[in-house]
Structure 1
Amino acid sequence: MTAFIALTLAGTLFATVPLSSDPPYKFKVVRREPGLRLYGNGVDWVQELDLSTGVSLQLFYPRHVQDWGEGADDLGNVPQYDTGVSVSIDPQPIEVHWQDLQERWGDRAFSVTNGQFFGSQPLQLAFPLKADGIIYSGGYAGLGEYPGEKKMLIIQGQQAQILPFPEVGYPENPLFSEIPNLLVGLDEWADKGIKRAVGRTFVGVGDRNQDGTSEILWIFNSPAATQLRAARVLRALGAQGVMMLDGGGSTQLVVQGVERLRSRDRTPRAIPHSLGVILPPPSTPAEPAETPGPPPEESPP
């Protein structure tokens, strides 16, 4: 399989304007950084990443991996899609995920939010995850959960794509290709309480400058939204593909150390997996040209 997968959008594209029955979006730019905008409307949050500027998304940080889970877990679940691995992870509060990001990236750390669906004991991710060329999980769910309704976010350099996830094994599965970063979630229509207004985390991708490369990546967080609304917000911003991540009490957001969205669980939910937004490296100022000094004095004859 080649390192690049052509963008093919499945399903119907929705209008990119809010419907009259929706609450007004009223998003405003709350914070602006090089290549990044944070939008808010007092309730919901959207981060807009322009990957062409050097902004990046950390898909996984293995600090809290307890076990590589190469065999069956306590419930008999085994790694899926011939991956042979499904890490078990010690879940952490969102504040710890932020500290991990900040310790790794320093001033370039911008935000952390929840990510992958999870469950099973010991705690594992439900679906596949590959980061920086390493397969960390084939997931435990496989075809047993939401067959045909899985999507994958692929990040290759300055391009992001959201495509249907092919539920096949080695070697056809894109996990085994040269693609370095791949995160599996669910289609916007997969039934996770479609009409319920609960915590939602969605991602979207799009080609804003229409040059054939989808360089824009959006992350949507809401304490209470339907699946339809989450997808519509992203499409209104220009997303051509969207994907659902974990929601409910898992939906949380910390931006530069400030908790922007808190878990709605009575006790804020610890999560095993987070997405970290990283600002571009600082540009190196050009060295000033040498100023020529006075000409050397000539020796007297």
Structure 2
Amino acid sequence: MKKLVILLIILLVLFIAWISPASNSSDSFVSSVTTSELEDEDNYVFDPQIIQAILPISEESSASVEIPSVVSLPNVDPASQGFSVYATSPGITIYSQEATYLLVIDLNQAGIRALHNATGDVLGPGIWDGNDTAFKSKALGDYLSQGGNENFACAFNGQFFKMVKYPTGLAAPLKANGEIITYGWETKFHKGEKLMLEVWPDRTRITPLDKNRFENSDAVDIITGLTALANKKPKSVVGRTFVGTHGESTLMVLVSPSSNQRQMESTLKSLGAEVIMMLDGGGSTQLSCRISGSEQVLRYSERLIPQAVYVYSH
């Protein structure tokens, strides 16, 4: 009996000695994985477009959702990306690359205005129990004149609208000169993909569009659009107008006659854009500028539009 007990003790000791290295190895593996994960988190750059896709905002929700802070990218000389200076004025520089134009706007020395041609009539109910206001369309050159008489200014196409109806309506809300102009009509599509460009006299930012944020924002103007990769025929090579922000004082506007959405997003990111928003495109893509008091049509389209964006040098 004693021999059996001794044998069992010996076997138990051998078993403990055998499993100890495996246990140590397992602890080492867990520690290694944890360290790697922490290193990845330390170097992770939050992409607001991805966050927006992960945390979609319901059209009916009034919850305020914050975009996480983004690691700032260094300022990049557009010349390093193939652009050359076309014209410049305090606060605004226009760059060109063949038929593509880039506007870099410093809101410390320049301003932004949302322009529109609302009639005051109501087409029907809009989102969030607001009104879907009627708009008539007009040429971009008329918006350039409507914006003001600054010696250096540009106008470009703005929000998405309904092509098959006239007077037309905007797809999403618009605020101009401190007044909510319309709530828009589009409720079925692009859930979680809508963004808004809030504009103050000296700063701007792009945030997710929701009822609470839109109605309670103290921004003077709010222009709405979509995330860079929203489903607007993303692979099609057509006219595109995108805007991007770097910090709160720099706005970039990229107008291209023939790009897909990924190319537009990639170009703006390479220039330092932290958050990107897509405006109307296709045949609506157009850009006109007043340079030294003389109007120049940089991207022509015969399409009349109901809403535009005006930028000007102080």
Cα separation, 1, equivalents of 2:118 and 2:305: 12
Per the alignment, residue 151 of structure 1 pairs with 195
TM-score (norm 1): 0.74
Question: Distance between the aligned counterparts of 1:45 and 1:29, measured in 2?
Answer: 10
Q: CA deviation at 1:200?
A: 0.2
Q: Which residue number corresponds to residue 162 of structure 1?
A: 206
How far 1:6 moved relative to its partner? Answer: 9.4
What is the rounded CA distance, in whole Å, between the counterparts of 1:113 and 1:178 in structure 2?
A: 24
Counterpart in the other structure of 2:95? 39
Shift of 1:174: 2.4
Q: List runs of 5+ in structure 2 lacking aligned partners.
A: 1-63
Q: String of CA shifts for 1:155-198, please: whole Å, max 9, x gaps.
A: 123221111112x4xxx242233232211100111111111110
Mapping of residues 110-121 of structure 1, within 5 Å: 110-119=153-162, 120-121=165-166
Cα offset for 1:67?
A: 2.8
Q: For 1:106, which of 132, 140, 149 is the aligned residue?
A: 149
Aligned Cα root-mean-square deviation (Å): 2.6
* Runs of 4+ more than 6 Å apart: 10-17
1:122-271 to 2 correspondences below 5 Å: 122-142=167-187, 144-166=188-210, 168=211, 172-207=212-247, 214-256=248-290, 257-263=295-301, 268-271=302-305
- Using the TM superposition, give the Cα deviation of residue 234 of structure 1 relative to its aligned residue in structure 2, in angstroms: 1.2
Distance 2:199 2:87 in 1: 24
Letter of the aligned partner of 1:233 in structure 2?
T
- Which residue does the alignment assign to 2:24? none
| d(CA) in 1 for partners of 2:215, 2:245 | 20
Q: Distance in 1 between matches of 2:69 and 2:190?
A: 17
CA–CA distance in 2 between the matches of 1:34 and 1:177?
Answer: 28
> Do 1:14 and 1:232's aligned partners in 2 also have CA atoms closer than 8 Å?
no
Which of the two has higher C-alpha Rg? 2
TM-score (norm 2): 0.71
User: 1:204, 1:219 within 8 Å by CA — same for their partners in 2?
Assistant: yes
Q: Distance in 2 between matches of 1:153 and 1:116?
A: 11
Shift of 1:99: 2.5
Instruction: Give the total of aligned pairs.
Output: 242
Deviations along 1:97-132, one digit per CA (max 9) or x if unpaired, are 22322xxx2134511110000014430111011122
Contact 2:171 2:185 in 1 (8 A): yes
SS across alignment from 1:205: strand
Secondary structure (helix, strand or coil) at the match of 1:239 reads coil
Partner residue in 2 for 1:297: none
Does the 8 Å contact 1:175/1:182 carry over to 2? no
Question: What's the secondary structure of 1:125's corresponding residue?
Answer: coil
Q: Give the 3-state SS of the residue equivalent to 2:215 in structure 1.
A: helix
The yes-or-no answer on 1:8 pairing with 2:67 is: yes
Task: Report the alpha carbon displacement of residue 12 of structure 1 after superposing the two structures with TM.
Answer: 11
The residue that corresponds to 2:55 in the other structure is: none
Using the TM superposition, give the Cα deviation of residue 16 of structure 1 relative to its aligned residue in structure 2, in angstroms.
Answer: 9.6
Query: Which one of the candidate residues 105, 108, 113 is aligned to 1:58?
Result: 113
Of 157-166 and 236-245, the range deviating more from structure 2 = 157-166
Q: Distance in 2 between matches of 1:141 and 1:193?
A: 17
